[in-house]
Chain A
Amino acid sequence: MCYALHMSLRLIKRDVAETVLRQNGWLSYQPEAFQKEVLRRSILVHFAPNELIFDVGDELGGIYGLVSGTATINTAPPNHVPQLINVGAPGAWAGESCFLARRPRSVELRALVEAWLMYLPLDQMDEMADADPMVAHNFGQIIMTNVDALIRVIHDLQRVDPDRRIASVLQRARWIGERPLPLTQSEIGTMARASRRQVNAALKRFAENGWVKTSYRSVTILDPEKLRLFSTEDD
């Protein structure tokens, strides 16, 4: 029995990957010539489930754009163990601080499921900046997209009611569509500051309302809009 056969890679075509990044997130807002240049210089890379993409304190490197699958963003202040705070959606880019500030990685990025990412190496970014220093402005905009995501995480965590925090966290993953969420109940709990018991009870309630579907060890989001309305009721 060859397990490798069962665990064969899901391949992705280069032009499909480029289209995903041209149509979603930071790169989709950039001028055509810049998009072209980024993609021309990028490498499409594959990560297995749970494989580390980069670690806190890692040496300088380039930026990664999520094409398919998903990756977890784990962070903490210096000298603390990184904790799961968010999962990336296709079109999200990360790792810009090395290029902009020459500082080592301050977050951990890890593939949650099998994932394909586009990698633009640091030397390629530097070459682009040598040819046109204004590209720093384009790359700097990645920080703003990440600031928006962090502000949303903070806002969700400020909710006092655990059910509303859990609903917000689930709603944040709505882009996954009607597929099982690749998160355990304890991972949802970490993101929502809730105990496993609280997550379990909330999921049961949301399932009764028809907002999610739960089966053994998996949750599928059915009605993200209802989750959003419920989570923002007290706002």
Chain B
Amino acid sequence: MSAILIKRATAEAILRQNGWLSTQAERFQDEVLRRSILLRFAPDEVVYHFGDDLGGIYGLVSGVVAVNTAPQSDAPQLIHMGVPGSWTGEDSYLIRQPRRLELRAMTETWVMHLPLDQMAQMTAADPAVIRNFCQNLLRGVDVLIRIIHDLQKQDPERRIASVLQRMTWSSKQVLLTQTEVGTMASASRRQVNAALKRFAENGWLTTSYGSITILNAEALRLFGDEGDR
């Protein structure tokens, strides 16, 4: 299980071309990357825990990261999988409170980490960067709204289709167990099993023991959206 190495230049190129950082001014991109550290996480390793101390932000370069969360009094549940180019962890920077999410590497994962003290130095030098960081959090809000919308669908098959389509943002190979798909879609394992069978019959995906491969994300999206008021 030797680690796959990733070159720093490749990592920077991925983050300059995808997600939040790609939408920011070049000078800001340079500054973020100059101050960031490239980190590797093994499968199942935690990037940060729910309730962890203050820290900086993390940008996904390669691999897959599970996002677990809940209100502060409850146990975190899987709600999403991170996509290369997505950054998270601004809670410490903005409100100086413990982590709201748990991030866990599902496969071997490389992330770029901008430490909190570096964010503070950037802010002291130019307070305009606060808005740059807030813009990333607003992208996170958009994802939360999509998750809520998927969970409001009455028909469990449409929720499951929407969750599977959302998973293709990170990879065609869905790295979730049926139970995990069920958690994200608020469906029972039996419902997930039946839905997967039907979607496979339609040619939208294939399943083999323990893994799901999406063949037609657009068909899943259309089916998931049917009946939207």
Contact = CB atoms under 8 A, between A and B. Distances in A.
Interface residues of A, number: 39
A76 B145 contact: yes
B43 interface: no
Interface string B129-172: 01101110110111011111101111000000000000000000
A93 B148 CA distance: 20
Contact of A85 (B133, B135, B148): B148
Contacts of A15: none
Contacts, number: 122
Contacts of B130: 133-134, 136-137, 140
A154 B138 contact: no
A143 B138 CA distance: 7
Interface in A136-178: 136-137, 140-141, 143-144, 146-148, 150-155, 157-160
Contacts of B134: 100-101, 136, 140, 143
Interface in A97-121: 97, 100-101, 103, 106-107
B100 A235 contact: no
B122 to A, nearest CB: 12
Given A100-B134, A147-B140, A193-B186, A157 B127 contact: no
A153 B133 CA distance: 24
A195 interface: yes
B133 to A, nearest CB: 8
What 8 A-B pairs have minimum CB-CB distances, sorted nearest first?
A133-B127, A157-B151, A136-B130, A150-B144, A140-B134, A100-B134, A77-B146, A101-B135
Given A143-B134, A152-B71, 17 more contacts: A76-B145, A77-B145, A85-B152, A97-B138, A97-B141, A100-B131, A137-B94, A143-B137, A147-B100, A147-B137, A147-B141, A151-B100, A151-B144, A154-B148, A158-B184, A160-B186, A193-B154
5 contacts: A75-B145, A76-B149, A141-B95, A143-B137, A144-B95
Interface of A: 75-77, 80-81, 83, 85, 97, 100-101, 103, 106-107, 133-134, 136-137, 140-141, 143-144, 146-148, 150-155, 157-160, 190, 193, 195, 232, 235
